Chain A
């Protein structure tokens, strides 16, 4: 089972490889990828350097081209595919059917992975991608329970990758327009959810307020930790009850599922966080490398080390982690 780590820049990429990643995934410096943030991602020169660093160490590089091509800008997404192939990417992570079609036709020998943004949650949808674009891997959205993942792994004609750790997107990825409803910009169209330019913090008499495009997302008392106002993780009012109506600020952590995921034949576990620092990548890669190696040596007696959990919790939103949808009770 491959450990696939995120890298938002060259230092993070090197850190990931140096700390045990089998592969890293990156994005280009434009809106063709779902972490299109200022100061993040790879221009052509950095892309080539990154590829060299990864390949010289016998590891793999995946390039995410996983937003949806604009009606008047399809050429940009095709060029992104061309550029990634030119620097020798090992795999393309794609969500858009048109872009997949282009990649499959023009570069049939370069691996195509169905991005989580394509929201592929069942066998027939996997068949669709296999039949039409001969994809080599499907990344599952964070909406399936462990039982459902197991069932799918048994029957899928395509190897599966799952999310293992990081920020928890609670909606079926690629099918969430909450961000554009509030700001006009969404992961699908601009490659960012709850974009930073719409965020405003304000100290008020009632507490510290976070807003997204002027909508109040949360309000914190002095003893509360304030988090980034991702719109689905704020406190809202439903008929007089004020609570985290959609989700709390928390991160996904599936360390305890490692033996099960291995037994199912999941080919890769993905760490979220291309927007995070090299320090984050270092801690997460190191911890997950240890856990995977320990499990491989002795899968029957695998147990999660308390220190690993502590390390990962410290890197998590609101310092708490969850099994998310993998655990039925969360749903």
Chain B
């Protein structure tokens, strides 16, 4: 089983991004995803910068480098950028919207179907395979049993070898996307005058209940889980199910430590107690996502 660093879902200054990926270079990750998936106004790195960074990483390491693309695309300009990223010539692309699937299919290039592509069953998976999908991440709200059912059906139909399966296993979960920017709203600004304020919140902005319970993280137009999803206790199960890649979502604090913890867990499994005030694994166990099974 391999390990990946998912794209950072946050907005960081360019120097911080570069620093992060210098560290990623030295890390034990097998696959590195990079690129802007949340908001096209985040332009500390433009499309060409992400591609240049991706190529540098591909050149300097023997890791697989994947360019992740936007999830909610609303304007023709965003599609132009998306096409640039998709038609990059050498780097693999993660599609997070069906527009990217369409473009990759037109280019006759394989792609990764990211967690924001709604693939809930084998029939859908087959549609995506026909388009050129080579790797699949299920939607984050689905459970281990749900995944197992699809993988078993794929084996029964002799198509399991046609795709790799990756599972979002650690980090703040991307849960929703809106036209509205909630970070700008939190500073009492409209989106058109957001002043790129996401950059002041490298791990997003916590949204708590009035009793102080952490509920969500506001990350621009994206809403995330306030608790970090953590499937460390399920690593052995993931491996036994035939999951090919475990994804650690990039953040500014713990991603590299968690990566090592997960790798260690595969070698020498032990039981980790999750902190129910900061961590969750409910989705995997088919209960409320924010809870710990």
Contact = CB atoms under 8 A, between A and B. Distances in A.
B245 interface: no
Contact of B177 (A145, A171, A183): A171
Interface string A170-207: 11101111101111101011000000000000000000
A162 to B, nearest CB: 14
A38 interface: no
B258 to A, nearest CB: 20
A245 B78 contact: no
Nearest to B290: A181
Interface string B174-214: 01111111100110001110000000000001111111110
B210 A98 contact: no
Interface in A288-331: 324-325, 328-331
B159 interface: no
Nearest to B96: A175
B283 A96 contact: no
A215 B120 contact: no
B211 to A, nearest CB: 5
A78 B76 CA distance: 35
A223 interface: no
B248 interface: no
B74 to A, nearest CB: 5
Given A181-B289, A235-B210, A145 B124 contact: no
Contacts of B283: 180-181
Listed residue (A143, A172, A219, A239) with the most chain B CB atoms within 10 angstroms of its CB: A172
Contacts of B212: 237
B27 interface: no
A148 B74 contact: yes
A111 interface: no
Given A68-B121, A186-B141, A125 B97 contact: yes
B91 interface: no
B181 A74 contact: no
Given A121-B73, A143-B178, A328-B190, A236 B101 contact: no
B120 A68 contact: yes
Nearest to B186: A238
A184 B291 CA distance: 9
Interface string B203-244: 001111111110110100001010000000000000000000
Interface stretch (A10-18, A56-64, A127-135, A274-282): A127-135
B288 A183 contact: yes
A213 B215 CA distance: 12
A172 B176 contact: yes
A69 interface: yes
B128 A184 contact: no
Contacts of B287: 184
B17 interface: no
A160 interface: no
A123 interface: yes
Given A72-B149, A122-B99, A331-B179, A184 B289 contact: yes
B118 A96 contact: yes
A213 B288 CA distance: 9
A26 to B, nearest CB: 23
Interface string A217-254: 10100000000000000011111011001110000000
Contacts of B122: 71, 74, 98
B48 interface: no
A99 B122 CA distance: 11
Q: Interface size for chain B: under 10, 10 to 19, 20 to 34, or 35 or more residues?
A: 35 or more
Interface string B117-130: 01111111111100
B72 interface: yes
B118 A95 contact: yes
A69 B175 contact: no
Contacts of B150: 71
A101 B192 CA distance: 39
Contacts of A49: none
B79 interface: yes
Contacts of B139: 177, 188
B177 A175 contact: yes
B206 A127 contact: no
A274 B82 CA distance: 37
A182 B216 CA distance: 10
Interface of B: 71-76, 78-79, 82, 97-103, 105, 116, 118-128, 131, 139-142, 146-147, 149-150, 153, 173, 175-182, 185-186, 190-192, 205-213, 215-216, 218, 223, 225, 282-283, 286-290
18 contacts: A70-B120, A71-B120, A72-B149, A96-B124, A97-B118, A98-B122, A98-B124, A99-B123, A122-B76, A123-B76, A125-B99, A175-B176, A175-B177, A178-B216, A188-B118, A236-B208, A237-B208, A238-B208
Interface of A: 68-72, 74, 95-99, 101-102, 118-125, 127-129, 131-132, 142-145, 148, 151, 170-172, 174-178, 180-184, 186, 188-189, 213, 215-217, 219, 235-239, 241-242, 245-247, 324-325, 328-331
Given A172-B178, A188-B141, 12 more contacts: A70-B146, A101-B126, A119-B118, A122-B97, A143-B179, A176-B175, A177-B175, A184-B287, A213-B288, A235-B210, A245-B185, A245-B218
Closest 4 CB pairs of A and B: A98-B123, A124-B99, A181-B289, A325-B179
